């Protein structure tokens, strides 16, 4: 579904991502791990088009999206959440989802004029369903900035789903969560997979990645040093070395 071909991004002399080859199959959960500064977030920004690559290509559903602007990639079905939650704090919970409905299907349903005016009942019902799923129905008209941390994470995921994505890029969704919340997140990710979403999960919380990912790719200094099913990755000497230093046995 998504293919990164020899993707590179250099910042001055730093090779944040260096010749990365990565592919994600439809319906799969791919875990992307690596030490701090290994290029995980840069990879997400290259996939979503916030950064232009220095070299290489991004191919999604057979279409080369390398030079496409971010909003067009979202329309094709790539949605993301941010490591440091980025909601529209001055909009209400409901409005945060409302402005995210930019998919071709939603545009068609709204028609040209309705797109400016508001939206049909179908659109509103879909948003109500997303709010219900995120457990935020009772906070519908609160400002997003007034939500608790956990609620903000749930709203951000719901907002990504409101764009009707095929591929979800989750950038450290467990950051700052306690054990109970991580348990709920685990459940939510599995449910999304069950609904047919393809997921790229970037995460530091190993237990979570190992539990939900079908396959894991490991980055270090912008290069892929290992790829495989979770047990193989746990046993991989190169991965241990990257995480624990050269003396690790």
Residues that bind another protein (CB under 8 A): 48, 50, 69-71, 74-75, 79-80, 82, 86-91, 95-96, 98-103, 115-119, 143, 145-146, 159-160, 162-163
Residues whose CB is less than 8 angstroms from the CB of residue 248 and which lie 6 or more positions away in sequence, other chains included: 240, 241
**C-beta of 73 vs 224, nearer to another protein:** 73
Tokens describing residue 119:
């939206």
Angle separating helix axes 121-133 and 149-162, nearest 10 degrees: 140
**C-beta of 169 vs 242, nearer to another protein:** 169
Nearest to 17 by CA among 55, 48, 49: 55
Q: How far is the CB of 141 from another protein (least distance, A)?
A: 12
Q: How far is the CB of 101 from another protein (least distance, A)?
A: 8
Decide: residue 125, CB within 10 A, 0-12 exposed, 13-18 middle, 19+ buried.
exposed
Q: How far is the CB of 90 from another protein (least distance, A)?
A: 5
**C-beta of 48 vs 220, nearer to another protein:** 48
The 10 Å CB-count burial string (b at 16+, else e) for 24-38 is: beeebbbbbbbeeeb
**C-beta of 100 vs 242, nearer to another protein:** 100
User: What is each CA distance from 199 to 122, 169, 192, in whole angstroms?
Assistant: 26, 6, 8
Q: CA-CA distance, 225 to 218, in Å (whole number)?
A: 6
Q: How far is the CB of 173 from another protein (least distance, A)?
A: 15
**C-beta of 112 vs 194, nearer to another protein:** 112
Q: CA-CA distance, 151 to 128, in Å (whole number)?
A: 16
**C-beta of 69 vs 231, nearer to another protein:** 69
Q: How far is the CB of 170 from another protein (least distance, A)?
A: 13
Q: How far is the CB of 171 from another protein (least distance, A)?
A: 11
């Amino acid at each position: 579904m998504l293919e990164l071909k020899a993707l590179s991004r250099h910042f001055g002399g730093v090779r944040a991502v260096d010749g990365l080859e990565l592919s994600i199959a439809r319906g799969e959960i791919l875990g992307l791990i690596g030490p701090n500064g290994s290029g995980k977030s840069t990879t997400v920004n290259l996939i979503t088009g916030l950064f232009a690559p220095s070299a290489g290509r991004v191919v999604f559903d057979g279409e080369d999206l390398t030079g496409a602007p971010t909003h067009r990639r979202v329309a094709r079905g790539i949605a993301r959440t941010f490591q440091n939650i980025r909601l529209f704090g001055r909009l209400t919970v409901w409005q945060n989802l409302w402005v995210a409905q930019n998919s071709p299907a939603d545009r068609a349903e709204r028609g040209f004029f309705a797109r400016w005016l508001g939206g049909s009942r179908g659109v509103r019902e879909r948003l109500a369903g997303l709010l219900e799923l995120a457990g935020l129905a009772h906070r519908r008209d609160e400002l997003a900035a007034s939500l608790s941390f956990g609620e903000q994470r749930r709203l951000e995921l719901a907002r990504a789903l409101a764009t009707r994505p095929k591929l979800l890029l989750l950038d450290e969704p467990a950051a700052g969560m306690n054990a109970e919340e991580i348990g709920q997140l685990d459940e939510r990710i599995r449910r999304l997979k069950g609904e047919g979403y393809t997921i790229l999960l970037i995460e530091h919380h190993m237990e979570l990645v190992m539990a939900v990912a079908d396959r894991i790719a490991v980055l270090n200094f912008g290069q892929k040093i290992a790829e495989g099913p979770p047990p193989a990755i746990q046993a991989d000497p190169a991965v241990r070395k990257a995480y624990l230093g050269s003396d690790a046995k």
